[in-house]
């Protein structure tokens, strides 16, 4: 098992990504961060705090759960308990930043996009991920990426964030299955 990003590095990456968002969009009131359950939600919240420090403004914040939009139902006996999708702002005309911890095959993003498009007509959707591990199976591109890590399909990346763990520090680890 190898630590690919430690607490300090994750903190810096989130700061950098927040700055990139502020730089990229002219009107932040029209931008929304939508976190994908579960780590994406924590990351979106942290980004929003950083954006607040930089600009004194907070973005619209939303949450999507992709369970009912998955394309692999019936392929596994493991049930993932669905959580709630909460988009409490008008999605029409908004610039949506979909936030996830790791971007991999692109299937999660596809499912999240489908759901967002059903809720309303967003002006745009872009993707933010802490880690891009490559190996895409769909033509999906992440615009905001913290770190690119070349991986093999038999490897796993685990993102351990303070919000979800009893750990005192964040870390992202890479290991062979």
Partner 1 sequence: MTNKILFTKKHLLGLEDFTREEIKLILDTAKPFKNLFTRSIKKVPTLRGRSVVLLFYEASTRTRTSFELAAKRLSADTINIAVNVSSVKKGESLIDTAKTLESMKSDFIVIRHSYSGSPHILAKNVSSSIINAGDGFHEHPSQGLLDIYTVNEKKGRVAGLKVVIVGDILHSRVARSNLWGLTKLGAKVILCGPPTLIPKDVQKVSPSNIDIEYNLDKAIKDADVVNILRVQFERQMEHLFPSIREYSLLYGMNKERLSRAKNDVLILHPGPMNRGLEITSEVADSLNSVINEQVTNGIAVRMAILYLLSSVKE
* Alpha carbon distance 144, 166 (integer Å): 28
For the bound state, the minimum distance from the C-beta of residue 54 to partner 1, rounded and expressed in Å, comes to 33
Closest CA relative to residue 100, chosen from 147, 39, 143, 144: 39
For the bound state, the minimum distance from the C-beta of residue 88 to partner 1, rounded and expressed in Å, comes to 11
166 secondary structure, DSSP code: S
Q: Which is nearer to partner 1, 27 or 118 (CB)?
A: 118
Helix (H) or strand (E) holding 156: strand 155-160
Q: Which is nearer to partner 1, 67 or 155 (CB)?
A: 67
For the bound state, the minimum distance from the C-beta of residue 35 to partner 1, rounded and expressed in Å, comes to 16
Structure tokens at 33: 């961060």
Q: Which is nearer to partner 1, 65 or 100 (CB)?
A: 65
164 secondary structure, DSSP code: G
Q: Pairing between strand 155-160 and 171-176?
A: antiparallel
Q: Which is nearer to partner 1, 82 or 148 (CB)?
A: 82
For the bound state, the minimum distance from the C-beta of residue 94 to partner 1, rounded and expressed in Å, comes to 16
- Residues at the interface with partner 1 (CB under 8 A): 38, 65, 67-70, 73-85, 114, 118-119
């Amino acid at each position: 098992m190898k630590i690919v990003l430690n607490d300090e590095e994750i903190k810096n990456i989130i700061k950098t990504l927040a700055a990139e968002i502020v730089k990229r969009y002219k009107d932040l009131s029209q931008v929304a961060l939508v976190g994908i359950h579960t780590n994406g939600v924590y990351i979106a919240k942290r980004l929003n705090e950083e954006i607040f420090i930089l600009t004194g403004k907070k973005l619209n914040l939303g949450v999507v759960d992709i369970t009912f939009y998955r394309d692999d139902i019936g392929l596994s006996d493991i049930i993932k308990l669905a959580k709630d999708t909460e988009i409490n702002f008008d999605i029409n005309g908004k610039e949506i930043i979909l936030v996830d911890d790791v971007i991999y095959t692109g299937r999660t993003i596809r499912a999240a996009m489908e759901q967002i498009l059903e809720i309303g007509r967003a002006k745009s959707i872009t993707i933010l991920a802490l880690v891009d591990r490559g190996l895409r199976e769909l033509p999906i591109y992440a615009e905001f990426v913290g770190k690119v890590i070349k991986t093999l399909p038999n490897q796993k990346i685990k993102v351990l964030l303070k919000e979800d763990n009893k750990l005192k520090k964040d870390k992202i680890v890479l290991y062979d299955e």
